[in-house]
Structure formats: structure tokens, C-alpha cells
Amino acid sequence: MLKQVAEGVLVHQSELLQNNTVVVQGKDGVLLVDPGITGDEMACLANDLRKDGRPVTAGFSTHPDWDHALWHAAFGEAPRYGTARCAEFLEQLLSDADWKTHLAEGLPPEIAEETPLDLFGRITGLPAGTARIPWGGPAVRIIEHPAHAPGHAALLIEQSRVLIAGDMLSDVLIPMLDDSADPVEDYLVGLRRLEDAAGDVGVVIPGHGSVGRAGQVRARIDQDRAYVHALRDGLAPSDPRIGASAKPGWEWVSDIHEGQAQSVAKRAGGEGTRG
């Protein structure tokens, strides 16, 4: 089901991981951002758009994680974009003859049989420094940064004052670091770029979780930064997304935190976190 979150901007949320697919309305059709994760959900979304006379005229993947780079034939053959680094990463992945097998092994077992991979990752990388998505609708600014995944980009729909954050600023997922040379600093750089772009943003749409309104945008940036600072400093973070206060069904996020804490401590030459 599509829900309007701002003028000309709608969201469809998956059941399992609360992935948010964003639909931006244009004069001749829609921009589809991070299209979904199961075949049935994507086919249903395509059907809803078709019934409303809203053909998909462009797609965009905020980053190359499997759940943000899928596609369904029912969406048609519109151009699918991502940053140059995102496209390069996906091209390298798809060059492996066994990529589909390896990717399928990492899917959540609940939806492994329902996730179509035939059109996965077939995106066109926009030239480095491209400021806006090339399509016929409202201006959508690209904010590329090094946090979370190669070629990650947030999108700012300037007319509607909506920030599409990709896998950041979630109320259910903690910041998830990339496996880069300096993942902590990379994440802090990403947060600074989102902060610089946030300005008078009235709505923030994370990759997973609930849509945040104006008063929550700054709070979510601060919460993510506090978590990353705690990891960097070897402290146990006070974060409602982990531990006993985690949202029911999302307790596994604590396991991600423990793994990240150990990894960051190891990089820093320590043996673990300090409580």
C-alpha cells in the first residue's frame, strides 16, 4: 500500500525488513527509489502505479546492498540509476559467474524463494559529480558520501523538502559501517553531509523503519552520530535500537552492534568495549 508522506512523494514499506520504497511523482510518470524486496510486493506496487496512470520513468538505487538494487519486469524498462561507485561495485559483483548463488545464500530465509534476482543490479552509473537525477520530474539532488556502502547516496527532493536517507537515520537500525579503511570516519563524513543538506527538510525517509517528520530529522542525525562516537571511543552506547529497549522483532540488531563493536575495537588495537 502506498502512503503519501509529502506532496508528490509516496512510500511503500515491505513487511519483513520495513524497507521503504519511495515513489516521486512527475508530470509524465514516477521516479522509483529502492524498488522493494519480494516479487509479490514489487508486482503489487507496479500494478498500483499502473492503475493510477503512473508509469515508471526512472529508477534509482541509493546503494548496492541486495535489498536496494532489485527490480521487477512489471516496472518496465525505464533507466535505473545509481552513483558511479555504486554501479562499479555492482558490475564487479555481477562479473562473478556464481554471483546469483552467493547472493541467494545471504538472503533472509523467510523471503529467499520470493526475491527475484534476474534483474538485480543492472543500473547505470551517473558520472561522478552529477548533481541531480536526470528525469522529467521535480529536482532530486544527489548527496553522495562514503558511509555504510560503496557509492551510497541520499536524495533531497527540494520542492517537497523530503530527504531520502538510504540506509541511514533509521529508528530501528543502528548505523551499519562499511568494510572500508576507516569506516568510523567514513560514517561521520556521511552524517555531516546529510546534516549540511537537511536544512529545512520536513520529512526524512530511512531505508528501513518509520518516516520521520521535521522535528525528528535532527534528532536522528544526532542519535546516529552518538552511536558512532560511542563505537569509536570504546563505550557502550545508550541507544534504544539495541538491548532490552529494541523494537520487538528487531532484537537481532544487538548482534550487529556486538560485531561492530568488536571490529572497531580490533582496528583500534583494543580487546573489546568498555561498559
The residue among 89, 107, 128 that closes a domain is 128
- Same domain for 40 and 100? yes
Question: To the nearest whole percent, how much of the chain has pLDDT over 70?
Answer: 98
Could you tell me the pTM of the whole model?
Answer: 0.94
- φ and ψ at residue 162, rounded to 5 degrees: -115, 130
- Same domain for 149 and 228? yes
Domain containing 89 equals 1-128
The answer to whether position 178 is within a domain reads yes
The answer to whether position 214 is within a domain reads yes
Q: Are 47 and 56 in contact (CB under 8 A)?
A: no
pLDDT higher than threshold 50 for residue 271: no
- Same domain for 213 and 267? yes
> Which tens digits make up the pLDDT trace of 21-67?
999 999 999 999 999 999 999 999 999 999 989 999 999 999 999 99
**Domains identified in the chain, total number:** 2
The answer to whether position 86 is within a domain reads yes
- Same domain for 200 and 160? yes
Q: Rounded to an integer, what distance in angstroms lies between the CA atom of residue 245 and that of residue 106?
A: 27
Question: To the nearest whole percent, how much of the chain has pLDDT over 90?
Answer: 93
The residue among 94, 128, 162 that closes a domain is 128
Q: Rounded to an integer, what distance in angstroms lies between the CA atom of residue 29 and that of residue 27?
A: 6
- Same domain for 176 and 255? yes
Number of residues assigned to the chain? 275
The answer to whether position 133 is within a domain reads no
